[in-house]
Amino acid sequence: MKNQKQLIIITGPSGVGKGTVVKEMLRKDNNFWLSISATTREPRQGEIDGKDYYFLSREKFKEMISENLFLEWAEFAGNYYGTLIDSVKERIERNYKVILEIEVEGAKQIREKFPDNISIFLLPPTQKELENRIRNRATDNEQSILRRLKRAEFEIKSSQDFDYLVTNENLEETIKKIINFIGN
Ligand code: 5GP
């Protein structure tokens, strides 16, 4: 890859608002491109295959791991998630700033393999607020909600491993800070 600073990692616990932040980044600058991940989790209502994720069977996902098709992959709350190498490479070569919206284990893998990225960890204003956001999403079952909450504690503990920490309280403020960190 030519310029790894073109790789922007947005990470942080489930429910912190990564998706909303990334959507706003994409709206503000045509030069950003969001990598579409593969996952074995079931699509939520309204999610579209090839747009939100590539929804795959566990079997297919494992086959792709053995074929080295992922830049990184991780298991999260009982499912696999991974970033596809080819599409990211192609966009980097076309000079896009590629956004990876991923959980912390995958983010750490990327940081080890491509140290020249920029990583941003989004923190919730409070633990309670995070729980409310996860619960209000109402698309996950109770078991998945509990797994995500437990996982969030672990994820927040690793927040110091990333370049920038942003408490996501106000969307506009969060975006301003991120754009400032990334530069032009
Ligand atoms: P969700 O099931 O809520 O869509 O995603 C669960 C978690 O997996 C979120 O923290 C999300 O950022 C993360 N995730 C999504 N795609 C990837 C990926 O390709 N790799 C990794 N490591 N995590 C991902």
What does the pLDDT look like over 162-181, one tens digit per residue?
A: 999 999 999 999 999 999 99
Looking at residue 138, its pLDDT comes to 65
Residue 53 Cβ inside 6 Å of ligand 1? The answer reads no
Gap from CA of 139 to ligand 1 centroid (Å): 15
pLDDT digits (tens, 9 = 90+) for 96-139: 999 999 999 999 999 998 888 999 999 999 999 999 988 887 67
CA distance 71 to 136: 32
Residue 53 has pLDDT above 50, yes or no: yes
Q: Which residue's CA lies nearest to atom 19 of ligand 1? A: 82
Q: Please report the pLDDT score of residue 77 as a whole number.
A: 87
Is there an atom of ligand 1 within 6 Å of 82 CB? yes
Please tell me if the CB atom of residue 104 comes closer than 6 angstroms to any atom of ligand 1.
no
Take atom 17 of ligand 1 and give the residue whose Cα is closest.
102
Q: 12 CA distance to ligand 1 centroid (A)? A: 10
| CB count in 10 Å sphere of residue 29 | 12
Mean pLDDT of all residues belonging to the chain:
92
The answer to whether residue 49 scores a pLDDT higher than 90 is yes
Q: Is 15 in the pocket of ligand 1 (CB under 6 A)?
A: no
pLDDT digits over 64-83, tens only?
Answer: 999 999 999 999 989 999 99
Average pLDDT over every residue of 12-22: 94
Integer-rounded Cα radius of gyration of the chain: 16
- The closest alpha carbon to 92, from 23, 9, 26, 3, belongs to 3
How far is Cα 96 from Cα 89, in angstroms, rounded to an integer?
10
Q: Distance from the CA of 81 to the center of ligand 1, in angstroms? A: 6
Please work out whether the CB of residue 155 comes within 6 Å of at least one atom of ligand 1: no
Average pLDDT rounded to a whole number, residues 140-146:
85
